[in-house]
Amino acid sequence: MHCLSDYDVKVLLALNESIKGKEEFARFLMDNGFPELAALSAAINSKTDALDWLLTHGYPEFAVLSNAIDNEPVAILWLERYHCDLLSKFAAACRQEIDAIQWFADRHLDIFIFLIRTIHDVLKFQSWDSSDIHKMRRS
Protein backbone atom coordinates (compact mmCIF):
# COMPACT_ATOMS: atom_id res chain seq x y z
CA MET A 1 0.00 0.00 0.00
CA HIS A 2 1.06 3.54 -0.68
CA CYS A 3 1.18 6.22 1.98
CA LEU A 4 1.79 9.96 2.02
CA SER A 5 4.81 9.35 4.24
CA ASP A 6 6.49 7.64 1.25
CA TYR A 7 7.06 11.02 -0.43
CA ASP A 8 9.75 13.65 -0.01
CA VAL A 9 8.71 16.88 1.70
CA LYS A 10 9.26 18.89 -1.51
CA VAL A 11 6.84 16.62 -3.38
CA LEU A 12 4.28 17.01 -0.59
CA LEU A 13 4.68 20.80 -0.82
CA ALA A 14 3.86 20.54 -4.53
CA LEU A 15 0.83 18.42 -3.60
CA ASN A 16 -0.25 21.14 -1.19
CA GLU A 17 -0.12 23.80 -3.90
CA SER A 18 -1.93 21.50 -6.32
CA ILE A 19 -4.71 20.99 -3.76
CA LYS A 20 -5.05 24.79 -3.63
CA GLY A 21 -5.83 24.67 -7.36
CA LYS A 22 -2.50 25.82 -8.75
CA GLU A 23 -2.37 23.97 -12.07
CA GLU A 24 1.38 24.38 -12.53
CA PHE A 25 1.96 22.20 -9.47
CA ALA A 26 -0.46 19.53 -10.68
CA ARG A 27 1.46 19.57 -13.96
CA PHE A 28 4.76 19.32 -12.04
CA LEU A 29 3.46 16.23 -10.22
CA MET A 30 2.33 14.66 -13.51
CA ASP A 31 5.55 15.45 -15.35
CA ASN A 32 7.81 14.20 -12.55
CA GLY A 33 6.40 10.76 -11.91
CA PHE A 34 3.72 11.49 -9.32
CA PRO A 35 0.44 11.24 -11.26
CA GLU A 36 -1.17 9.59 -8.24
CA LEU A 37 -0.64 12.76 -6.18
CA ALA A 38 -2.05 14.93 -8.96
CA ALA A 39 -5.06 12.62 -9.03
CA LEU A 40 -5.38 12.71 -5.24
CA SER A 41 -5.35 16.50 -5.38
CA ALA A 42 -8.08 16.49 -8.01
CA ALA A 43 -10.12 13.92 -6.06
CA ILE A 44 -9.95 16.08 -2.94
CA ASN A 45 -11.30 18.86 -5.15
CA SER A 46 -14.30 16.67 -6.07
CA LYS A 47 -13.16 15.49 -9.49
CA THR A 48 -14.75 12.04 -9.86
CA ASP A 49 -12.63 11.11 -12.88
CA ALA A 50 -9.53 11.49 -10.68
CA LEU A 51 -11.09 9.19 -8.09
CA ASP A 52 -11.73 6.62 -10.83
CA TRP A 53 -8.12 6.98 -12.05
CA LEU A 54 -6.79 6.25 -8.57
CA LEU A 55 -8.97 3.14 -8.32
CA THR A 56 -7.97 1.77 -11.72
CA HIS A 57 -4.25 2.58 -11.55
CA GLY A 58 -3.27 0.88 -8.32
CA TYR A 59 -3.89 3.61 -5.76
CA PRO A 60 -7.16 2.59 -4.09
CA GLU A 61 -5.92 3.78 -0.71
CA PHE A 62 -5.66 7.36 -2.03
CA ALA A 63 -9.17 7.17 -3.51
CA VAL A 64 -10.46 5.89 -0.18
CA LEU A 65 -8.49 8.60 1.63
CA SER A 66 -10.29 11.26 -0.40
CA ASN A 67 -13.64 9.74 0.56
CA ALA A 68 -12.62 9.38 4.22
CA ILE A 69 -11.67 13.05 4.28
CA ASP A 70 -15.25 13.69 3.14
CA ASN A 71 -16.44 11.70 6.18
CA GLU A 72 -17.78 8.71 4.25
CA PRO A 73 -18.20 5.92 6.85
CA VAL A 74 -17.32 3.05 4.49
CA ALA A 75 -14.06 4.76 3.52
CA ILE A 76 -13.14 5.45 7.15
CA LEU A 77 -13.71 1.78 8.00
CA TRP A 78 -11.73 0.65 4.94
CA LEU A 79 -8.65 2.61 6.03
CA GLU A 80 -8.91 1.10 9.51
CA ARG A 81 -9.53 -2.44 8.21
CA TYR A 82 -6.48 -2.37 5.94
CA HIS A 83 -4.29 -0.79 8.63
CA CYS A 84 -3.66 2.44 6.75
CA ASP A 85 -2.99 4.07 10.10
CA LEU A 86 -1.33 7.29 8.95
CA LEU A 87 -3.90 7.82 6.20
CA SER A 88 -6.70 7.15 8.68
CA LYS A 89 -5.28 9.70 11.14
CA PHE A 90 -4.72 12.14 8.30
CA ALA A 91 -8.34 11.89 7.13
CA ALA A 92 -9.56 12.36 10.71
CA ALA A 93 -7.36 15.43 11.11
CA CYS A 94 -8.71 16.86 7.85
CA ARG A 95 -12.18 16.42 9.35
CA GLN A 96 -10.92 18.52 12.28
CA GLU A 97 -10.86 15.72 14.84
CA ILE A 98 -8.76 17.22 17.63
CA ASP A 99 -7.09 13.96 18.75
CA ALA A 100 -5.87 13.29 15.22
CA ILE A 101 -4.53 16.83 14.79
CA GLN A 102 -2.77 16.52 18.14
CA TRP A 103 -1.22 13.20 17.02
CA PHE A 104 0.51 14.98 14.12
CA ALA A 105 1.53 17.92 16.32
CA ASP A 106 3.00 15.64 19.01
CA ARG A 107 5.18 13.98 16.39
CA HIS A 108 6.23 17.29 14.80
CA LEU A 109 4.90 16.16 11.41
CA ASP A 110 4.69 19.73 10.19
CA ILE A 111 4.28 18.94 6.49
CA PHE A 112 1.16 16.92 7.29
CA ILE A 113 -0.24 19.67 9.49
CA PHE A 114 0.36 22.05 6.58
CA LEU A 115 -1.54 19.73 4.21
CA ILE A 116 -4.35 19.24 6.75
CA ARG A 117 -4.88 22.99 7.03
CA THR A 118 -4.99 23.40 3.26
CA ILE A 119 -7.44 20.53 2.82
CA HIS A 120 -9.66 21.85 5.59
CA ASP A 121 -9.73 25.26 3.89
CA VAL A 122 -10.53 23.70 0.51
CA LEU A 123 -13.36 21.67 2.04
CA LYS A 124 -14.72 24.76 3.76
CA PHE A 125 -14.79 26.66 0.46
CA GLN A 126 -16.44 23.68 -1.28
CA SER A 127 -19.12 23.69 1.39
CA TRP A 128 -19.69 27.41 0.96
CA ASP A 129 -19.88 27.04 -2.82
CA SER A 130 -22.42 24.23 -2.58
CA SER A 131 -24.71 26.35 -0.43
CA ASP A 132 -24.38 29.53 -2.52
CA ILE A 133 -27.69 30.00 -4.31
CA HIS A 134 -25.93 32.01 -7.03
CA LYS A 135 -23.73 29.04 -7.91
CA MET A 136 -26.43 26.37 -7.87
CA ARG A 137 -27.29 24.79 -11.20
CA ARG A 138 -30.80 24.73 -12.48
CA SER A 139 -32.06 21.53 -14.04
Tell me the pLDDT tens digit for each residue of 63-105.
999 999 999 999 999 999 999 999 999 999 999 999 999 999 9
Helix axes 35-44, 60-69, angle to 10 degrees: 20
CA nearest 15: which of 116, 128, 107, 127? 116
Quote the pTM value: 0.89
Q: What is the structure's pLDDT at 77?
A: 98
The answer to whether residue 132 scores a pLDDT higher than 80 is no
Half-sphere exposure of 8 (CA within 13 A, CB side): 7
**Could you give the CA distance from residue 139 to residue 120 in angstroms, rounded to a whole number?**
30
DSSP 7: S
